[in-house]
Chain A
Amino acid sequence: MVSIETHNLTVSYNRRPVLWNIDFEIPSGNIVGIIGPNGSGKTTLLKAIMGLVPTSSGYVKIFDKPLDQVRERISYVPQRESVDWDFPASVMDIVLMGRYRKSNLMKRLTKADKDIAAEALEKVNMLEYSNRQISQLSGGQQQRVFIARSLAQGADLYIMDEPFVGVDAATEEAILNLLSDMKKEGKTVVVVHHDLQTAKDYFDWIVLLNTRMVAAGPKEEIFKEKLLQEAYGGKLNVLSKVGDLMKEKAFNVRERN
């Protein structure tokens, strides 16, 4: 089964495309790395998949359905720096957010929700911190709290933005163990990652990105000198000039919107 399909996906900021015609399919049950140099549009791709940024053309399907029909099967682990960790909340408060959904809007969480959250915390070895204030956590612990929150959600597709950035060795190992457990359970995990060195060990499917898609497939097919050179050898000159021009002339990427 296909977990994520993007079809001719183009995303623009101020009309300049930051992703051009991205087109790939990811089969379920894989640990997928989205790899590319800085500014290659990795995070934007994740956000487009989850409907957090508007797309200028193309579409995304998840489990063969439009996003809004399957939202509860998707879980998101945002970049650690994207929130204010000074927020007055305990570790447990944050993980319980993974149990929020449309169906319990306006309702209190149940004991079952709390048990699931505790189990998720245990999976990332953070259960003893459940009453700790989130401002007192280290970077790695914060990352694990975010992952526990997404585990508590009980999804089939996990989308993680740079979970390995700035974490300690213990956290890195905890995340890797989780990834392989998830794979065994048939879940799909999509991870944005910037480090080419470790990518080969972490993932079994790769999407190679640099504002356009360079290649996507099983890692053995992607880790070729020529493809890596293409992705990391800089942006396509004409492509980025056309992008600049579109911004300058306020021109849309499709004739009709």
Chain B
Amino acid sequence: MNKTFQFLSFSDPNVQFVVIGTMILGATAALVGSFSFLRKRALVGDAIAHSILPGVCLSFMVTGSKNPLYLIIGAFITGWLSLILIDAITRTTKLKSDTSIGIILSVFFGIGILLLTSIQHSGNASQAGLDKFLFGKAASLTRDDIYVFGSIAIVLVILVLVFYKEFKLISFNPEYAKVIGLPVKFLEFLLATITVLAVAVGIQAVGVVLMAALLITPASGARFWTNRLGTMILISTLFGAISGFLGSYISYIAPAMPTGPWIVMCLSLLTVGSIWFAPKTGMLSKFRVQRENQRKILIENVLKLFYHLGERQGQFNSERSFEELHDSRDLKVNELEKGLKLLEKQNWIREKESNWVITNSGLTEAKRVIKLHRLWEMYLNQRLKLQPDHVHNDAEAIEHIITPELEKQLEKELDYPEKDPHESIIPYTE
């Protein structure tokens, strides 16, 4: 608890650097990554991230310094080179883009590891810490880092804001942009450049290996919450920043925990949470719809039992025992019990000395379902030319979903038939 307070008070300047740094990195990667996600280039980000390692190493070998600005310049050059090569391979050979991404990613990463190993064995004392680029060094961000990242982040945000509408168009329909004479090549170049920059900056926090997660995961989670591009990018950026914050917090209260991987863990949790809990599009909400459907089907089916028994005996409002109901349709005991309970709650049936009676409103509802069933059988028979013995199962399902508008249309189109294809009477309520 004490540690939480220390963390939140920001009294330790190192905490400030780490928290601000990781939040900036998470947010910029998420902002730029939204466009990679929409352009279906998720794996390109991964390739750039891996290709940046040789750039970092080369830049260190040339300058002998670990100044973040120099390293980012080196990272930027090889990151861009990888993009150009992926594009060239896809364009000039038979290989498809997934293959060329795979080739470039592994070749560049291989060279990077090669250079890194040779630097480590060179005896140069200042090289210590260069290997942090593999898994990130978020916990040791410094004031200088923050200045460099902050400036780059501001440039990226301004570029995205200024070219927002053009980026939207080239993500949705680049051919159209070309036809109306927009400088698509330039815009694509710009978007690629800011992606490389965001990756070059982001690997400082989470490292080469986990960078793709920082780029793509926030956008994929955000997509579940909205259908608006602007809102999606905002949520995605927020996810990135929140994860940066949480990652630093966790590694602060538990010093054995690495910051970068925890940032990615938090991001993944946010995304998995979105997949499950987002309204309408989330899995839970889909399950709920399914459950509602099953409930509606059960209620209406049990209600139909009362109608069918009444129709057979010419007496709708007699009392029915559980056994009588159970014998007349293939329903499990617990299903029937549940259905009766739900019907009673709706006041469509009432209990009378451990028997059941259908109410007036229940009878109206039952007639509606029966009518829809028989109308649909009629429709299948007349319009789809199905034989009377082929229409029942279809109608069993469709009766539960037809809306009042469709109901009217059906009645009109079939001209209020009196009987269904099995010669049963179609009950109209008014």
Q: Are B163 and A101 in contact, CB atoms less than 8 angstroms apart? A: no
Binds A, one of B173-181, B238-246, B398-406: B173-181
B227 at the interface (CB under 8 A from A): yes
Q: Are A97 and B173 in contact, CB atoms less than 8 angstroms apart? A: yes
B34 nearest CB neighbor, chain A only: A88
Binds A, one of B164-172, B191-199, B293-301, B420-428: B164-172
Q: Are B175 and A52 in contact, CB atoms less than 8 angstroms apart? A: yes
Q: Are A102 and B181 in contact, CB atoms less than 8 angstroms apart? A: yes
Q: Are B172 and A83 in contact, CB atoms less than 8 angstroms apart? A: yes
B229 at the interface (CB under 8 A from A): yes
B137 at the interface (CB under 8 A from A): no
* Complex CA–CA separation, A90 to B172 (angstroms): 12
* Complex CA–CA separation, A89 to B179 (angstroms): 21
* Complex CA–CA separation, A71 to B178 (angstroms): 9
The one of A51, A71, A83, A105 in contact with B173, judged by C-beta atoms closer than 8 angstroms, is A83
* Complex CA–CA separation, A51 to B409 (angstroms): 49
B18 at the interface (CB under 8 A from A): no
Q: How many A residues, CB 8 Å from partner? A: 31
Q: Are B176 and A89 in contact, CB atoms less than 8 angstroms apart? A: no
Q: Are A87 and B181 in contact, CB atoms less than 8 angstroms apart? A: no
Q: Are A87 and B172 in contact, CB atoms less than 8 angstroms apart? A: yes
Contacts of A149 in B (CB 8 A): 176
Q: A87-B171, A100-B166, A106-B162 are in contact. Are A71 and B227 (CB under 8 A)?
A: no
Q: Are A106 and B171 in contact, CB atoms less than 8 angstroms apart? A: no
Contact with A along B226-244 (1 / 0, CB 8 A): 1111001000000000000
B177 nearest CB neighbor, chain A only: A100
Q: Are B182 and A100 in contact, CB atoms less than 8 angstroms apart? A: yes
A50 at the interface (CB under 8 A from B): yes
Q: Are B169 and A97 in contact, CB atoms less than 8 angstroms apart? A: yes
Q: Are A93 and B163 in contact, CB atoms less than 8 angstroms apart? A: no
Q: A88-B226, A135-B227 are in contact. Are A71 and B172 (CB under 8 A)?
A: no
- Distance (whole angstroms) from the CB of B114 to the closest CB of chain A: 36
The one of A74, A90, A100 in contact with B227, judged by C-beta atoms closer than 8 angstroms, is A90
Q: Are A97 and B181 in contact, CB atoms less than 8 angstroms apart? A: no
A77 nearest CB neighbor, chain B only: B176
Contact with B along A93-124 (1 / 0, CB 8 A): 11001001110011011000000000000000
A72 at the interface (CB under 8 A from B): yes
In this complex, the member of B175, B177, B226 whose beta carbon has the largest number of chain A beta carbons within 10 angstroms is B175
- Distance (whole angstroms) from the CB of B355 to the closest CB of chain A: 48
* Complex CA–CA separation, A76 to B182 (angstroms): 13
Q: Are B181 and A90 in contact, CB atoms less than 8 angstroms apart? A: no
Contacts of B182 in A (CB 8 A): 100-102, 105
* Complex CA–CA separation, A75 to B223 (angstroms): 31
* Complex CA–CA separation, A149 to B38 (angstroms): 21
The one of A78, A84, A87 in contact with B176, judged by C-beta atoms closer than 8 angstroms, is A78
Q: A52-B179, A71-B179 are in contact. Are A106 and B228 (CB under 8 A)?
A: no
A68 at the interface (CB under 8 A from B): yes
The one of B176, B177, B181, B229 in contact with A93, judged by C-beta atoms closer than 8 angstroms, is B229
Chain B 130-178 interface residues, beta-carbon cutoff 8 Å to A: 162-163, 165-166, 168-169, 171-173, 175-178
Chain B contacts to A: CB under 8 angstroms:
38, 40, 162-163, 165-166, 168-169, 171-173, 175-183, 223, 226-229, 232
Cross-chain pairs A/B with CB under 8 angstroms, 8 sampled: A52-B175, A82-B173, A87-B172, A90-B228, A94-B172, A100-B180, A102-B182, A133-B227
Q: A88-B228, A97-B176 are in contact. List 17 more A-B contacts (CB 8 A).
A: A52-B175, A52-B179, A72-B181, A75-B179, A76-B180, A84-B40, A87-B172, A88-B227, A90-B228, A93-B168, A94-B172, A97-B172, A100-B165, A106-B162, A108-B165, A135-B227, A149-B176
Chain A contacts to B: CB under 8 angstroms:
50-52, 68, 71-72, 74-76, 78, 82-84, 87-90, 93-94, 97, 100-102, 105-106, 108-109, 133, 135, 149, 153
Query: Which 10 residue pairs across A and B have the least CB separation, nearest first?
Result: A71-B181, A76-B179, A133-B227, A88-B229, A50-B179, A87-B172, A83-B173, A106-B162, A88-B227, A88-B232
